[in-house]
Amino acid sequence: MARTRTLTELLLDIRQRVNQENSTFVTDAELTEYLNQELAELYTRIVQAQGPAHYRSSSSVSVTSGTALYSLPSDFWQVQQVEAVIGGVTWRLRPFMGYEHAPLASTGRPLAYYAPVKYRVQADQIEFLPPTQTFTATVYYTKAPPRLSAGSDTFDGFAGYEVAAIYGACATVLAKEESDPSFYTMQKDRILKHIDSLAGQRDENEPERVQDVDGGDLGWLL
C-alpha cells in the first residue's frame, strides 16, 4: 500500500543507522527477531490508535442450528464487527456478556425481532446464541501481528510508521553492545506519539461517531 518495505530493506536500514553494515556482532537472525518484536508493538499501537481500520480481514462462518461454537481463523486477533444474513436480512450482530450466556443458551425463550442472535469470542472460537437458527455469518477481524522471515516478506508502514520499529531495534542492538541507546529510544517515542496523533484520522471527511451502546439493545429478550 502506502509504504511497503521488505525485511531485507528494514534490516539494512537498522544496520546503517547503527553503523554495523559489515558487522557480525548481531546476526541477521537476531536482528530479525528484534525487528519482529518491535513490529508487533508498532502494529498493536496502530490498531489501538486507529479509527477506520488499517488492517481488516474477513471470514465466513456457516452456522447450523444445534451448534453454537465455531473455530476462528488461525490468524485471528480481534473482532471488528460481525454480520449475519438471517431470513434474507443482513444484521449487525452484537456480543453477549458472560452473564447473558445462560438465558441465551435456553432455546425455549423467544427473542425480540431486532436481536435474532448474539455472539461472543471464546478463546480460539466464536459462539452464536441461541443455537436455534441456520445462517451465514461474516466475521470482520484484525489479524495477529505478522512475523517477517523471508527477505521478500513485507511490512506496510503507511506513513513512515515503520521507523518506530527500526529505532526500537537499533536501541536493542546498542544495548547489547553496551552502548547508550537513549537517542534511539527517544526517536522511537517521538514516532509513536506521531502515530497516536495521526492513526485515527484515516477519513478526514467523516470522523468516527460516538456509538450508543445502551439504548438500542434493551429488549433482546421478550
List, for residues 75-90, the tens digit of each pLDDT value: 999 999 999 999 888 9
Tell me the average pLDDT of the chain.
87
Range 197-221 average pLDDT: 55
pLDDT exceeds 70 at position 204: no
d(CA 139, CA 117): 14
pLDDT of residue 216: 46
Residue 152, pLDDT score: 97
Q: Check whether 29 has a pLDDT greater than 90.
A: yes
Q: What is the dihedral of CA 158, 11, 167, 35, to 10 degrees?
A: 80
pTM of the full predicted structure? Answer: 0.83
Q: Give the tens place of pLDDT for each residue, 125-177.
A: 999 999 988 999 999 999 999 999 999 999 999 989 999 999 999 999 999 99
